[in-house]
Amino acid sequence: MKIKTAEFITSAFNIEQYPKDDFPHIVIVGRSNVGKSTLINTVLNKKNLAKTSSKPGKTRGINFYLVNNSFYLVDLPGYGYAKVSKEMKKQWAYNIETFLNTSKNLRYGLFLIDIRRTPDKDDFLMIDWFKQKELPYTVILTKADKLNKSEIAQAVENICKTFNIPQEQVIVFSSLKKMGVSQVLTIFEKYGGK
């Protein structure tokens, strides 16, 4: 898919604020600081479309980006960030769950994991949710430029074993080296409407 247009539409904090049209939703989920904003900017080829920050937990609402006037890339708040209040964590969890359970247009999930990290219970909860809902998804291993080729191969093997998924369901991604961009665009092509 060629990205012709990409624009930030809204940051929603409740269901009333979601866009009201019927464009498909492709959702991006992952821990805080996993590189969701960087992936969005890289794949959509727009430098500051999604705000990146060295401080985790920056995305608080659910951010909707309209791509090619045909689908939304939906960025959910990152989970698992320790330095926020219990109340804030509850609010994030509620926002994430509400969206995942109420979006009638949800077509696909991009599940981001830092290639150097071992998945934790929150990651397993996310995978279980995708499986229960029978929502097609891909695991994207971010920050791949931090590892060498054999370490990358080992990380892919580990994630396939951990989540019991085939290698085809994993994309190795690096914004620095533009690794994985064409594979993500192929998903957009298939699930992103027009």
Q: Per-residue confidence at 194, pLDDT binned at 50, 70, 90?
A: low
pLDDT of 185 > 70? The answer is yes
In 3D space, the residue among 133, 88, 78, 85 whose CA is nearest the CA of residue 111 turns out to be 78
Task: Say which range, 33-47, 62-76, 82-96, 105-119, has the weakest mean pLDDT.
Answer: 82-96
How much is the pLDDT for 86? 66
C-alpha span between 35 and 112 (Å, rounded): 8
Residue 132, domain extent: 6-191
Q: Could you tell me if residue 158 is inside a domain?
A: yes
Residue 169 falls inside a structural domain:
yes
In a domain, 119, yes or no: yes
CB 183 within 8 A of CB 171: yes
For residue 88, what are the β-bridge partners? none
pLDDT of residue 95: 74
Residue 127's closest CA among 138, 118, 116, 117? Answer: 138
The domain spanning residue 83 has which CATH number? Answer: 3.40.50.300
Residue 160 predicted with pLDDT over 90: yes
Chain centroid to Cα 40, Å, comes to 8
On whether residue 1 sits in a domain, the answer given is no
**Residue 96 within a domain:** yes
CA distance 35 to 52: 8
Cα–Cα distances (Å) from 170 to 50, 73, 144, 183, in that order, read 23, 19, 12, 10
Question: How many independent structural domains does the chain possess?
Answer: 1
Q: For 120-152, what is each residue's pLDDT tens digit?
A: 888 998 898 899 889 999 999 999 999 999 999
Instruction: Provide, rounded to the nearest whole percent, the portion of the chain with pLDDT above 70.
Output: 87
Q: What is the pLDDT of residues 55-91, one digit of tens each?
A: 544 457 899 999 999 999 999 888 765 555 566 656 6
Is 165 inside a domain boundary?
yes
DSSP string for residues in the chain: -----EEEEEEESSGGGS--S---EEEEEEBTTSSHHHHHHHHTT-TTSSPP-SSS----SEEEEEETTTEEEEEPPPB--TTS-HHHHHHHHHHHHHHHHH-TTEEEEEEEEETTS---HHHHHHHHHHHHHT--EEEEEE-GGGS-HHHHHHHHHHHHHHHT--GGGEEE-BTTTTBTHHHHHHHHHHHS--
CA 10 to chain centre: 17
Residue 94 inside a domain? The answer is: yes
Both tokens of residue 117?
């990290």
pTM: 0.91
Higher pLDDT among residues 86 and 113, named by residue: 113
Does 90 fall in a domain? Answer: yes
